[in-house]
Structure 1
Amino acid sequence: MLTSVVCGAVVFPGLFFGCRKLLRRTFSRWSEADVVCVSERLVSSLHASLATAAGVTVVTSCRDVMTDSHWLVNAFVSFGAPYMVYDIYAMYLSHYHTQKVRGHSGLYSGHSLQAVKAFLTKDWMLVLHHLVLLLVFLPITLFLRRGLGDFFIGCLFTTEFSTPFVSIGRILIQLGLDDTRLHRINGVVVLLSFFTCRILVFPFMYWMYGRQFGIPLHRVAFHLPLHCNVGNLAILAPQVYWLILLVRKAYRLYLRQKRGRRDGPKTH
């Protein structure tokens, strides 16, 4: 376990600073905000891809959803724990440099408690999500499960499947390619993957449990301990909120592009 934690503590920050250095050299005209934001997204995509691969491996290996175990569960949770700490720091840097470029030089003339407070105010849900995973679900997974439920932990790993597409979308916006067909196609993939892997995965887990024990899907929740249902709701709630934000953003983009086509240049 300690080896996995140390590896995670080296890999994710190391990749982040390595990406920053490489992007500065490759795209010399980019601002520091561009470099930091894209670097953060690239590392986030890598972590999400590894989590998805680990999740698929665990889910397809467990025949019994309660008692079957796989070494990847504890190993990846330990490996991913430092990522949660690193990513809060990387998100802060991204916020800091972005706001500085936008002209808020007074508040962001240097790192300060006011700058940190502004970041926490803006991205409080993401920060809370990371802290809950680190301080609540990590101890539960590693120490309190008594080796049960690796299948369900694997399912939760796969919720990261949509993250690389979200990152691609933000990188395209950063590069000024938000009005391209590639961005529109990626937006559709984001919505479909997010809904499938972050929303439908929960009824899927309940259905798999019910199928093994002969319980109808609508009765499964009543056969589970209260803390299991509460834990699932705590994870599901922010996913529903973020899905609503994604749908609203997609709708605004659709309206903007529709107005652009309608008000485009006319030939005489």
Structure 2
Amino acid sequence: MDRQTDSWSILVGGCLFFPGLFFFFKRTLTQLGCNHGDATTASARAVSAVQAIMASSAGVIIVTSCEDVMRDRHRLQVKGHEGRVGVGGYLRRELLLVLHHLFMVLACCPASLFCRQGRGDFFQGVLFLAELSTPFVCLGKVLIQFQQQKTLLHNLNGALMILVFFCCRVLLFPYLYYAYSRYLRVPLLRVPLEVPWPCNLGAGLLMGLQIHWFLLICRGALRLLLRPATP
């Protein structure tokens, strides 16, 4: 009962903390002279980056403290975009992103907080590490928003974003199966047969999205590199 109360407290706290942080950033940027659209977009990126730093920090702490990947416990859990288009236009343009976050909120979050039966903190921590790439993604979009895409900072951030995104989002799912294969002491290819089918389905859907976004990032970077220099 205490654990369930704890989970609800975390959920309610996140629902209050992140919107409050968004309005704080937005008000600060507006007072600094940003227009409404820029302040809204930059604030959303800032909140996303803060959430990512918190989640990945929690992931590092959890992963490094769990020896038994199924039974060791470490109760630290955290989870929490453009203001210039209408809701309909945003949904059409960012449908995959919206579906991804709906899946995280409606399926992954309840499963993480209430359905794990006290097991799998290690895997929860590894999933938090996916957020390591988010600050780089957000910084890149903010730099583009303020027309700083030709700067050294943007180029350096782009290179780091590609590397971190590949390691922490694309390779993350094969690593989860590898860690579980070591726990079960079975060959890696047998692991999908040993886990419940909803886990395989969820991992497949999430990994497919990560690969899709990684290819989009690489295509954007390639287009930037091949673009002829402006005289």
Q: Which residue of 1 aligns with 2:101?
A: 130
Q: Distance in 2 between matches of 1:189 and 1:132?
A: 27
- For residues 67-113 of structure 1, the C-alpha deviation after alignment (integer angstroms, 9 at most, x for no partner) is 1121114xx3xxx3xx3xxxxxxx2xx24x2x4xxxxxxxxxxxxxx
Could you tell me which amino acid in structure 2 is paired with residue 7 of structure 1?
A: G
Q: Distance in 2 between matches of 1:148 and 1:2?
A: 18
- Cα offset for 1:36? 1.1
Q: Distance in 1 between matches of 2:197 and 2:10?
A: 32
- Cα offset for 1:251? 0.8
Which runs of 5 or more structure 1 residues have no equivalent in the other structure? 84-90, 100-114
Could you tell me which amino acid in structure 1 is paired with residue 112 of structure 2?
A: T
Where does 1:96-107 land on structure 2 (aligned, <5 Å)?
97=84, 99=85
Q: Secondary structure at the match of 1:166?
A: helix
Q: Secondary structure at the match of 2:31?
A: helix
Where does 1:188-203 land on structure 2 (aligned, <5 Å)?
188-203=159-174
Q: Distance in 1 between matches of 2:25 and 2:16?
A: 14
* Aligned length in residues: 225
Q: Which residue of 2 aligns with 1:5?
A: 11
Where does 1:117-196 land on structure 2 (aligned, <5 Å)?
117-196=88-167
Q: Distance in 1 between matches of 2:198 and 2:11?
A: 27
Q: Distance in 1 between matches of 2:107 and 2:189?
A: 28
Q: Distance in 2 between matches of 1:182 and 1:141?
A: 36
Could you tell me which amino acid in structure 1 is paired with residue 43 of structure 2?
A: S
Where does 1:33-112 land on structure 2 (aligned, <5 Å)?
33-73=37-77, 76=78, 80=79, 83=80, 91=81, 94-95=82-83, 97=84, 99=85
Q: Distance in 2 between matches of 1:200 and 1:119?
A: 29
Q: Which has the larger radius of gyration?
A: 1
Q: Distance in 2 between matches of 1:9 and 1:144?
A: 20
Give me the TM-score of the superposition, normalised by structure 1: 0.79
Q: Distance in 2 between matches of 1:232 and 1:148?
A: 18
Which runs of 5 or more structure 2 residues have no equivalent in the other structure? 1-6
